[in-house]
Amino acid sequence: MTKILEFIDSIFVAAKAWILCLLGHFLPAWIVVLVSITISGVVILCLGPVIMMYLTLLERKLIGRIQNRYGPNRVGIWGLLQPIADGIKMFTKEDIVPANADKVIHLLAPIAIVVPALMIFLVVPFGKGMTTVNLNIGLLYFIAVSSITILPIFMGSWASRNKYSLLGGMRTAAQMISYEIPMTLAVVPAIMMSQSLATNAIVLAQAGGHGLNWFIFTPWGIVGFIIFFLCATAECNRPPFDLPEAESELVAGFHTEYSGMKFALFYMAEYMNAFTLCGIAATLFLGGWQGPFLPSWLWFFGKTFILICVMIWFRGTFPRFRVDHLMAFAWKFLLPLTLINILLTALWQFTSNLAAWCGSILVLGISLWTLVKLNRTFVPEKRHYPLES
Amino acid sequence: MNIFGSGVFQGMMVTLKNFLTSYFRKPDEGGIFTVQYPEEREKAIENFRNFPFLVYDGSPEQIRCVACGICERECPPKCIHIEMALDVVGKPARKPTVFDIDYGLCMNCGICEEVCPFDSIFMDHAFEVTAPERQISLVRPKKALLKSNEYFQKIRPTLAAVIDQKRKTAEEKKKAAIQPPATSESK
Amino acid sequence: MAAKFGTYAVMAVILIFALGVVTLRNIFHCALCLAAALIGTAVLYVAFRAEYLAAIQILLYVGAVVTLIIFAIMLTEHLAGKTVRQNNSQSPLAIAGLLGFVALLTVVILKTPWPVTQTALKAKVSVMALGEALMGTYVFPFEVISIILIAALIGTVVIAKKDAPEERL
């Protein structure tokens, strides 16, 4: 029984090794390396868009159920062919480029935004031994690559020569830069406690203890996870942080002037970003691919799926943030909280379990109370009119 | 307790409740109330009116319409076209040969139903009338407009009951009017 | 052999993009060529097996510095579609001077005995060693840099702050 489970667990790794072994019999070594890279690349290139397509369907169904209606259920059973219909629609739409636009940059922006979204797939540990490239600076690579995403947004908004696009692009860029800093700092405790930047090592550092060693069950882990999750939602421009693409306010913001396949590429980048960020959140705080009985890649996808459902839940629940609330939340609330979180990690490292919990709760309580008091929004005083008695 | 973030949590609980109950609550109690047309239809209320139809009692030959032409004259967009049938001798028979209503012109006002003195034209509930082009196929001929009295009773029970009652009393009065003079004559 | 060819190709690409920065007419295109040149530099760092430095290069230069430059371009009015002339009538003289400078620099670089030893070539710097060095040997410069950063931040806030409104009569 355990042998069967182990076989299913390592089925993908074993399949790739078998193919390479087969080719290694009659091909020189460097071609085998090339084929290995190609297989990994092709798998990621197929996995990314397929995940994105079915994520859009999942979102529409879940949002529909939250809003007391069915999601799409006409195209295929349960709407399972709906993403394909959407894809066909996007392919066959006319590609409109504004006459005044900067044609080269208008074309390059959607292409350039998909590249970082796909590159992050390389360091996500999908299962035991299934990280595509086991970089030893994996997490830093992820942070660096996700900071490139801001440039294509600028490109898209500037090349459209449209006031709404420009405003949307500026707001998006400001939002993404602001939320990158708490995201990076929220990840630092996980790095501190697992002594490594490699994603696989961080997963292995949460091993043992029947899941109680996951970083989320520590005081700094809970705070870090919540902050990372909120910043991840903001990085993907998902509601409630979707002011840049708010249909009711900015006519779709920086991707106003894009139609057809270019818009599909922007859309694809947003959903792939959402998937990878949820995947990284599961890796860093929820123990990655660890779990009993089921194969490791199933655990990973399950945890990521739950986190994506929570993101979709956010979308169905909250109204949009106003832009000044958005920035204030990042700079004045989340950033100090992440710094205090790093302090809590140090406390956890150097004291024992119970004392650390008590100390952490005390410090957290005081700091949250202070931050909430300092972030009170300005309520103007009630005016009095002479005729009122 | 008004702790920071409690509103967020409450909001999420509301949407979670909505999500879970959408699977097993009935439409009236907070479940999903979508009517998945065309597999499910909503039951039309009785006074819904869409397009006229002609009533016959029993067989399509016993059409109630006598081709008086009042509805043709009263129709605001003038979408009715009636031609009276001619007898074997050439005298006008009180039946229409041609009764065309143009679905493209009809505005579903129901004035033809209100002015008909012979209770022969009423507003139907059927709205799924389609045609590939509008000049020829959208003009509904008499054959398409004829529907039985049973159908009328099914779609508009109260009005059909009133009309049937009225016709029955009129029949009985006519029979009673014919009978007593006969008895008085036979005296 | 292929690695050497690849490295030279990347260097050529960096040079082309750098040329693009100083010769293109549209200022936004110049900023994007700058971003591409910096990404090329990061690729070079990876080729020299300094992956940490490559990641930091992308994170800071492309993610922050170029973003700042683009913000500055976008906040300046009416630059969309305007072409900027990047050279004037003295360019032949300038190019001649530049080529002379490059020749001088090449001669100096080739003649300097750089301390590249076998141990230095084979050294594998791990992130942990970097961290230990930063917090151990080089902790004083680290703290001084952070003080400079705080001073810059406070200075920015002070300069950008609006003056207090005048007293109402």
- Sketch the domain layout of chain B as residue ranges: 13-42, 51-163
Cβ of B31 within 8 Å of Cβ of A70? The answer is no
Give the mean model confidence (pLDDT) for residues A8-16. Answer: 88
Which residue in B6, B118, B37 sits closest to B71, CA to CA?
Answer: B118
pLDDT mean over B146-152: 90
Say if residue B50's pLDDT is above 70. yes
- Using CA atoms, how far apart are residues A120 and C55, in angstroms rounded to an integer? 13
Q: Which residues in chain C have their CB less than 8 angstroms from residue A150's CB?
A: 63, 67
Name the residue type at position A335: L
Q: Let me know: does A157 contact A168? Beta carbons within 8 Å.
A: yes
* Residue-level pLDDT at C162: 75
- Residue A312 has a pLDDT of 94
Identify the pLDDT of residue A246.
64
**pTM (two decimals):** 0.87
According to the per-residue pLDDT averaged within each range, which of A166-170, A263-267, B132-136, C138-142 is highest?
A: C138-142
CB atoms within 10 A of CB B118: 15
Binding-face residues of A in 187-246 toward C, CB within 8 A: 195, 197
Note the pLDDT of residue A378: 74
Chain B, nearest residue to A64 by Cα: B19
Q: Angle CA(A68)–CA(A69)–CA(A72) in degrees, nearest 5?
A: 150
Instruction: Work out the pLDDT band at B167, boundaries 50, 70, 90.
Output: very high
Of residues A254, A285, A257, the one with CA closest to residue A269: A254
Looking at the complex, does the CB of residue A170 fall below 8 Å from at least one CB of chain C?
yes
In this predicted structure, which of A300-309, A379-388, B131-140 has the lowest mean pLDDT?
A379-388
Residue found under tokens 């609980």: B13
For residue range A247-283, what is the model confidence (pLDDT) as tens digits?
555 566 777 778 888 888 988 999 999 999 999 999 9
Residue A129 placed within a domain: yes
Average pLDDT of span A293-302? 90
- Residue A69 maps to a domain: no
pLDDT at C165: 62
Phi-psi region of C168 (alpha: psi -120 to 50; beta: other; left: phi over 0): beta
B18/A66 touch (CB, cutoff 8 Å), yes or no? yes
Spatial separation of the C-alpha atoms in residues B23 and B12, rounded to whole Å: 18
Least confident piece of the model among A79-88, A256-265, B118-127:
A256-265
Average pLDDT for residues C88-111, to the nearest whole number? 92
Helix (H, G, I), strand (E, B) or coil at B23: coil
B-chain residue closest to A65, CA distance? B19
**pLDDT of C107 above 70:** yes
CB contact under 8 A, C70 and A147: no
Q: Is residue A332 assigned to a domain?
A: yes
Q: Which of B8, B13, B22 to mutate to test the interface with A (most CBs of A within 10 A)?
A: B22
- All residues of chain C having their beta carbon less than 8 Å from the beta carbon of residue A135 are 51
> How big is the CA angle at B79 (ends B74 and B84), to the nearest 5 degrees?
75
Closest CA to A134 of A283, A272, A25: A283
Smallest CA–CA distance from C72 into chain A, residue:
A170
pLDDT category of residue C81 using cuts at 50, 70 and 90? low
Tokens of A26: 């009659």
* Inter-residue contact A97 to A162 (CB < 8 Å): no
pLDDT of residue B101: 92
Nearest CB to A148 within list C63, C71, C127: C63
> Which element (helix H / strand E) includes A262?
helix A261-285
Q: How confident is the model at residue B185 (pLDDT cuts 50, 70, 90)?
A: low
pLDDT band of A237, cuts 50, 70, 90: confident
Total number of domains constituting chain A: 1
Q: What is the pLDDT of residue C31?
A: 92
User: Number of Cβ pairs closer than 8 Å across A and B?
Assistant: 38
Strands annotated E in B78-143: 80-86, 92-102, 121-124, 139-140
Q: Tell me the pLDDT band of C164, cut-offs 50, 70 and 90.
A: low
Q: Has residue A210 been placed in a domain?
A: yes
Choose the CATH number for B51-163 among 3.30.450.40, 3.40.50.720, 3.40.50.300, 3.30.70.3270.
3.30.70.3270
Nearest CA among A344, A272, A355 for reference residue A47: A272
The answer to whether position A5 is within a domain reads no
Residue C16: what pLDDT? 96
What mean pLDDT do residues A321-346 have? 90
pLDDT tens readout for residues B75-121: 999 999 999 988 888 888 888 999 999 998 999 999 999 999 999 99
Cβ distance of A317 and B14 shorter than 8 Å: yes
Torsion of CA B22, B26, B30, B32, to 10 degrees: 50
Instruction: State residue A389's pLDDT score.
Output: 60
Q: In terms of Cα–Cα distance, which of A335, A367, A384 is closest to A180?
A: A335
The Cα–Cα gap between A153 and A266 comes to 9
pLDDT: is B24 or A182 the higher one? A182
Cis peptide before B38 (omega within 30 of 0): yes
Query: C23: buried, middle or exposed (CB in 10 Å: 19+, 13-18, 0-12)?
Result: exposed
- Of all residues in chain A, the one with the smallest CA distance to C81 is A102
Task: Write out the residue range of the structural domain in which residue A141 sits.
Answer: 80-374
Q: How much is the average pLDDT of A16-25?
A: 89
Report the distance separating Cα A173 and Cα C67, nearest Å: 8
Dihedral class, residue C124 (left if φ above 0, else alpha if ψ from -120 to 50, else beta): beta
pLDDT at residue A217 tops 60: yes
Residues 6+ apart with CB under 8 A from A47: A121
A31-40, A115-124, A154-163: the lowest-pLDDT one:
A154-163
ipTM above 0.90, yes or no: no
Q: What are phi and psi of C134, to 5 degrees?
A: -65, -40
User: Percent of chain C scored above 90 by pLDDT?
Assistant: 51
Q: What is the CA radius of gyration of chain B?
A: 26
């005048």: which residue's tokens?
C166
In this complex, the chains that touch B, judged by 3 or more CB pairs closer than 8 A, are A
Residue B184 has pLDDT above 60, yes or no: no
- In this predicted structure, what is the pLDDT of residue B128? 86
What is the average pLDDT score of chain A? 88
Residue C168 scores a pLDDT above 70: no
Residue A224: pLDDT over 80: yes
Residue A125, SS3? Answer: strand
Q: Which amino acid makes up residue A330?
A: A
* The token pair that represents A54 in the structure block: 């079915």
Contacts of C79 in chain A (CB under 8 A): none
* Cβ contact, residue pair A137, C52, below 8 Å: yes
Residue burial B60-75, b: 16+ Cβ < 10 Å; e: rest: eeebbbbbbebbbeeb
Could you tell me which of A277, A287, A310, A339 has the C-alpha nearest to residue A139?
A277
In chain A, % of residues over pLDDT 90? 41
What average pLDDT does the segment A355-366 reach?
Answer: 88
Tell whether C131 lies on the interface with A, counting CB pairs under 8 A.
Answer: no
Round to whole Å and give the CA distance between B61 and B56. Answer: 7
Q: Which residues of A touch B4 (CB under 8 A)?
A: 368, 372
Domain-located, residue A215: yes
